[in-house]
Structure 1
């Protein structure tokens, strides 16, 4: 394989190293380029795939995603060096034909530290479904319009950057080091071309961290580690208030560390009579229903109408037809790792008429609601 071709410098050793680290199955390439021609890079990868298929080579790109300073793509299966070399030759020529220049190298995952491992005790976690999705029942990537995305991402990144430590930016399962400066722009680029993206900052010495993860169907998941459970809830509630103008539904519940989407809603605390898939397949119902009762929730007027009277709950109007609904004793919800059983049972009774049920989810999935 040549080390330079068509305006592309090729870092052969790093590519071999990434291939070996991937077990000669699938590995990541990183294209560093000053341009932002996502369509051109994707077309070049497709052209290389087509050429490899015609040559009966068992190798293909499995997706192109923006990353800091350019683009990343996963390549596999990489059982034979000559297949990798042939694909890369086609790819580089296709890039050059589109006027794309830069440096092609192997990419290695940055492993997140033990602090964010799922094996650690679960923590209070903010789940948010954002408003403004045109077709909330159609899986189509991130979905939130560009202006709202900039505002939501900007708010979340400003919050996560309050945490000291190096930045790790994740897209399509690839985690890379990133700079603090321009982080909101980079995360926005990822969401413009990929269904999900996440940012983690960890201070190992202080044993603190913050995590921001955006996922398909305009959902967000946020965690902050360090201090007491009440400290964590306070920081998450502050963020929830900042995000409220763009929020359809938000709540704080206990979940495993390092989670990246609403599929983890029951990772540490079971829901009431439903599974996470009942929530995932009926996002439109979250305009007026909640998947469970929570000590802290940001809801809309339709949720309050569905719930009816909420004795003992603190309801604060936030503007934009959004309301912060809080339980009187948050320690009973979050200090013990899981909500106190009696407190949770009473709360579910209070919210009963606004709870998402299996029957409601099934009817919606069948087009009956």
Structure 2
């Protein structure tokens, strides 16, 4: 019984990771007859009496995804690990994940995406704060809600047939539906920049993705090229409804997936997370609002307002074509789509509901005494 090392594949991956400025290399360890070999791999690493901190082993299916920190001596380390696994009767291989190391989630065409602000378990004012009085970034969603969110996201991302999924950015962990929650959950306690669960087609192009940001924010992308943008926007609206009872705010808007998904909700809005249940960043064709939101609106008589949960409403412009139909890159980048006149009329309808510098200054985040 022997575990072999596919040196030529690992050597090529090491060279690629070095070009990317990465601090390690991703490995894929398969053991015959073991569907999820993470436990066996961790035990073998521990028996080697090497630095366990150099090995990040994930509980993936079909093999164990392993990140070897500092790959300068990768050949020696993988040879020792293969020998240890072989000595206790395992057969298999140490290679690299069958995943493109140069994956780029950026999409050059604008698509409707959904942005959701889930409810925080602990108010932002409760801290913790850094030395400058700014809230420390945290995921902050109750565990029970996180569990449901993870399960739904994993199933949603892998629903399109013929797709495979991964978690991460540069270092992408291959996952199946059952793996994804276990892989994502511990990552939510780390800085969330770039944390994404994504599925790709067999040609390597991204199909669906869910991005996770600090302070309970998610973004949902469906690059369904067989559906029109209005149909995609309507599907995104169903996501807002699905999470309505556990969300403080949601919107469907045009963005460039994988690049500037937060561009429509940046700046002043992003700096005032404590106001998201009372103010909106701008006027959009589809938004999920609370009663506090609606109380600030100027005139929504021209909008469709549907109650979808307790104290939650979906507010939709009857003319979704004007907001989502056939967007092309340049007008979107210039903020000329949707048409400025349409946006201006919508802003007038929402009125004091849209956050401004004046509102933000009048409603600062005040830490709660501990």
Alignment TM-score > 0.5, same fold: yes
Partner of residue 309 from structure 2, selected from 286, 307, 319 = 319
- SS of the residue corresponding to residue 20 of structure 1 reads helix
- The reply on whether 1:125 has 2:113 as its aligned counterpart is yes
Separation in 2 of the partners of 1:220 and 1:174? 20
CA separation in 1, counterparts of 2:268 and 2:166? 30
1:202 aligns with 2:205: no
| RMSD of aligned residue pairs (Cα, Å) | 4.2
Distance 1:23 1:156, change over 3 A: closer
DSSP-derived class of the 2:279 partner: coil
Counterpart for residue 142 of structure 1: 139
Deviation by residue 1:251-279 (Cα, 9 ceiling, x = unmatched): 001000235xxx6321xxx66xxxx1433
Instruction: State the distance in 2 between where 1:39 and 1:308 align.
Output: 59
TM-score, structure 1 normalization: 0.71
Contact 1:18 / 1:107 at 8 angstroms: preserved in 2?
A: no
Structure 2: 5+ residue runs without aligned partners? 30-35, 86-91, 128-134, 189-194, 328-336
Provide structure 1 residue ranges, at least 5 long, that are not aligned to the other structure.
51-59, 96-101
Report the counterpart of residue 168 of structure 1 in structure 2: 165
**Partner secondary structure for residue 22 of structure 1:** helix
Partner of 1:189: 182
Preserved CA contact (<8 Å) 1:139 1:216: no
Distance 2:315 2:113 in 1: 16
Q: Aligned partners of 1:329 and 1:364: how far apart in 2?
A: 34
Indicate whether 1:252 and 2:247 are aligned: no
* Alpha carbons 2:25, 2:68 under 8 Å: kept: yes
User: How far apart are the structure 1 equivalents of 2:80 and 2:268?
Assistant: 45
Question: How far 1:334 sits from its partner (Å)?
Answer: 1.0
Do the aligned partners of 1:133 and 1:218 also contact (CA within 8 Å) in 2?
Answer: no
- Preserved contact between residue 139 and residue 214 of structure 2 (Cα < 8 Å): yes
Structure 2 partner of 1:20: 15
Deviation of the 1:43 alpha carbon: 9.8
With over 3 angstroms needed to count, the CA separation of the structure-2 counterparts of 1:252 and 1:37, relative to structure 1, is farther
Q: Residues 353 and 38 of structure 1: is their aligned pair in 2 closer, same or farther, counting only changes over 3 Å?
A: farther
Give the deviation of 1:106 after TM superposition.
3.7
CA separation of 1:191 and 1:356: change in aligned 2, threshold 3 A:
farther
Change (3 A) 1:13 1:208: closer
Distance change >3 Å, CA 34–CA 335, structure 1 → 2: same
Q: Could you tell me whether the CA contact under 8 Å between 2:158 and 2:165 is conserved in 1?
A: no
Moved more, 318-327 or 163-172: 163-172
Shift of 1:248: 1.5
Distance in 2 separating the partners of 1:175 and 1:366: 36
Contact 1:124–1:233 (CA under 8 A) maintained in structure 2: yes
Alpha-carbon shift at residue 356 of structure 1 (Å): 2.1
Aligned 8 A contact 1:15 1:106 in 2: yes
Q: CA, structure 1 residues 109+209, in 2 after alignment: closer, same or farther (shift >3 Å)?
A: closer
C-alpha separation in 2, matches of 1:356 and 1:15: 51
Q: Give the CA deviation at 1:296.
A: 0.5
Aligned-pair CA distance for 1:131: 1.8
Deviation of residue 127 (structure 1)?
0.7
TM-score under structure 2 length normalisation: 0.71
Aligned equivalent of 2:261, options 261, 264, 267: 264
Q: Whole-Å Cα distance in 2 between the matches of residues 368 and 135 of structure 1?
A: 10
Q: State the alpha-carbon separation in 2 of the partners of residues 279 and 42 from structure 1.
A: 46
2:235, 2:170 → 1: CA distance? 27
- Give the whole-Å Cα distance in 2 for the aligned partners of 1:296 and 1:174: 34
Distance 1:38 1:93, change over 3 A: closer
In the alignment, the residues of structure 2 paired with residue 357 and residue 38 of structure 1 have an alpha-carbon distance, to the nearest angstrom, of 54
**Using a 3 Å threshold, how does the CA distance of structure 1 residues 35 and 360 change in structure 2: closer, same or farther?**
farther
1:365 and 1:190 map into 2 onto residues whose CA distance is 36
Change (3 A) 1:313 1:94: farther
Deviations 1:117-162 (A, max 9, x none): 432x211111111124325464455332332122223333333344
The secondary structure found in structure 2 opposite 1:17 is helix
| TM-superposed deviation, 1:171 | 1.8
How many pairs does the alignment contain? 328
Secondary structure in structure 2 of the residue aligned to 1:311: coil
